[in-house]
Amino acid sequence: MEVTKYGLNIPEDLATWYEWQQQADGLRRLKGMVRNLPTIVSGLVSGSGAPDEAELVSGVLHVRGSEPQVLVVLDSTSPTTMSSLVRPLEFLTDLPMAVFALQDVSDHLPGQGWATQTIVEAELSELCTVQQVLAAGHYLPLGAAAYRFARQQKATYLVVQHGLITPYAPPLPANCTLLAFSDDDARFWISGRSDVDYRVVGSQLFYDAAQRAPQIAQHPLQDRPVFLGQMHGAELPRASFARAGYTFCRQHGARYRPHPGEKDKLSVLTHRLWAKMGVEIDSYHQPLNTLNSPVVSVFSTGVLEAAIRGVPAWVYHPHPPQWLQDFWGRYGMSPWGSEPTPAPQLPSREPAETIAHILTQSLEN
């Protein structure tokens, strides 16, 4: 796919993005999502969605209060998703809320009194008092269902950025409001569109890393670097990620730390082959946010998290494409051989609190 100079490669057409994602993933495909593509795409393209197909999307609805005004959507329970979308609820303890998730997440929700039930998409229409929908996007099943619901309900659909944005990121929903890490990220993701508004709230991921930094900094820094694997990613061919990781580890004696997503057969075989060729595969399972070894990766968020903790961190690729070099520049990531990556600027106010304030302000208006 040809890469645009600034912004997403596919800035608006979600169906086209799905096609690219499937081609890029090849045999890996989209885990679990492919089963739902007809439901997601037909509902978004048609505008109203087909009722029969909408029934295929189901999840666990959590409700606190009799007339919820905000619906939070969780297509994932990854740490970054939970901190970005659930942490704001800590500042909204008195507000009637609903949470739509793939599974029961009551133990992760703040406060008491959460009632749960499994529902299908059509039953979201019973949440007739909802005015705000908070999600990571509309490219996964629950987010897509909630987006259709928001349009029918004429509710505001807010997308919370929870990771770094490459040109291969999914397009934003039409007429949504983006809550972005930075002005640069917002303009990049919006890609010149006039139908998307945005507010800069900062990164909860980086804010959390900064809060943990003082305790972790007490441990001595090691000399041997760790290379963070990303062979699960679709942004570059697997061979490109592999070449970068293997080359760096062999040339600099680094340990290779597989990404949690590198559990498919090909990745496991690659790890075994590299081990036989002299590359140490990190199997210690030490939490990433406690590593005190210099960190290197192609473009992992772990590079910036390490920089926040005061750990030297760099990015590396033997032949980086232009979009990757631009990505490094946009996030201030330093290539190997230069000065370590500086810590990104952090907001003075916790992003989750800012998001809660935006929701409350919107409801009052």
Which of 1-15, 78-92, 136-150, 319-333 shows the lowest per-residue confidence on average (mean pLDDT)?
A: 1-15
Instruction: Please check whether residue 333 is in contact with residue 325, taking contact to mean a CB–CB distance below 8 angstroms.
Output: no
Cα–Cα distance between 102 and 76 in angstroms, integer?
Answer: 7
**DSSP-derived 3-state class of residue 275:** helix
pLDDT at 292: 86
Regarding predicted confidence, which is higher, 6 or 72? 72
Confidence band for 65, pLDDT divided at 50, 70 and 90: very high
Mean pLDDT rounded to a whole number for the chain: 89
Cα–Cα distance between 171 and 175 in angstroms, integer?
Answer: 12
Does residue 340 carry a pLDDT above 50? yes
Span 250-270, average pLDDT: 94
Confidence band for 228, pLDDT divided at 50, 70 and 90: very high
Q: Any alpha helices (H) in 69-198, and if so which ranges? A: 79-85, 141-153, 183-190
Among 192, 203, 155, 191, residue whose Cα is nearest residue 176: 155
pLDDT at 40: 45
26-46: per-residue pLDDT in tens? 644 444 444 444 444 444 554
Span 193-219, average pLDDT: 86
pLDDT at 22: 86
Does residue 216 carry a pLDDT above 90? no
Phi then psi for residue 311, to 5 deg, are -95, 130
Span 255-278, average pLDDT: 94
